Structures are given as C-alpha cells and as structure tokens.
Amino acid sequence: MLVLSAIIISLIYQALKVDPKLPVYQPDMVNKELADTSVQYVRKFHKIGDFKLTNQNGESITPKNFEDKIYVADFFFTTCMTICIPMTENMRIVQDHFIKDEEIMLLSHTVTPEIDDVPQLRKHADKMGLVDGKWHMVTGDKKHIYDLARKHYLASKTDGDGGPYDLVHTENFVLVDKEKRIRGFYDGTDSDEIDKLIKDIGILKLEYQD
C-alpha cells in the first residue's frame, strides 16, 4: 500500500506540475516614463515592429534577421563612460554563454548615430569581443532608433530634446521572443540580473520545444 500510495502521489504531482513561464509584457505593465504616450495604455498584442538599421559591418539589419530567434536588445553609445561599460561587458557574457546556440541573438542600438557610424561600431565591436552573426551593434536614423526605444522596446525615459546625448536610455536588457513579444527586463549592469536573464532564456526556450 505504501508503494502504491507513493506511485499515485508521484503521478498526481507530475500531472499538476506546471513548467515555469515568463510573462508577456505590455506597455501598461511598465513605468509610464519608459513608454511613449501613444502606447502607454496598451494592454495586449504589443510587439516589436518593423525596423531597418545598419550593423558594424555595414549590413542591413531588419526583423528578418531575427526570424525564429530569441534575442536580447539594449540601447547604448560607444563613447559612454558610465553604465554602457558594464552593460556591454555583461552582454558579452550572455553572448559567450550562448555562443553555440543559434537560437539566441543579441541586438545593441546606439543612441548617438551621428557619432556611432559603421567604422566606429566596428572599432567598438572589436574592442568588446563581439562575434559577428551572433551580436549586432546597429546605427541608423536617429528618430527611428528613438521610436524603437520608446514605442517598441519601452527602454527610454525621455524622447530627448534634440541634442547629441538627448535620449536618456536605461540600463535595461530586453528579452524578446520569437513572436517579437517582450518577455523580460533586466538590469544590464547587475551580475545577478544577468544570471536571471540567462536562466529566463532557458525557460523561454522550453516554450518552443515539441
């Protein structure tokens, strides 16, 4: 009877066990300072929209590059001497952890495209140990990048005032799933948060297993 009871309890536990699942973030779930007024109250169906940017190799980068991929996005600039330094170092940790996993990619947007042209991004990428094809550092039209930060990734505190350093980008790393939905925000300067991001990527990958 004891053996039978143990088997029954085990079967019930397995039947009731639910795999952990990450939330799907909507604009109304984040601090309103991080979202443009046009999307602040959106409660469902929010996704990262279309974009066209240029990476460190002068290649055009669009959502097609991330089809069937999970990716981590952030905003930075190469001349930043404060939070961007640990952010880029921690993004490299994520890159190295998933270096052999073709399902995972990284995308870093410069917020000073007038300074961070392709040669500058290439120089910075080499300095930071970026692996081409795994991690894209991108530049492009300034308004386009700012709209992505405010209306899509929910990762900027202001629209800016028109100056060269006007976008107050956050330290957030944004986890995006294969449907282009936001699944997590992480402090890119905090090693514990990076550990959590790596763990959450593993959780997210489980959603796509048969």
Question: Mind listing the pLDDT tens digit for each residue in 57-88?
Answer: 999 999 999 999 999 999 999 998 889 899 99
CB contact burial 169-203 (16+ within 10 A = b; e otherwise): bbbbbbbbbbebbbbbbbbbbeeebbeebbebbee
Residues whose CB is less than 8 angstroms from the CB of residue 66 and which lie 6 or more positions away in sequence, other chains included = 105, 107, 176, 180
Domain boundaries, the chain: 23-206
| The architecture CATH gives domain 23-206 | 3-Layer(aba) Sandwich (3.40)
- Indicate if the pLDDT at residue 159 is higher than 90: no
Q: E strands within the chain?
A: 53-55, 60-61, 70-76, 104-110, 135-139, 172-176, 182-187
> What tens digit of pLDDT does each residue of 19-38 get?
689 999 999 999 888 888 88
Pairing of strands 53-55, 60-61: antiparallel
pLDDT score of 8 = 57
CA dist 9 and 174 (Å) reads 40
pLDDT score of 202 = 97
CA dist 178 and 51 (Å) reads 16
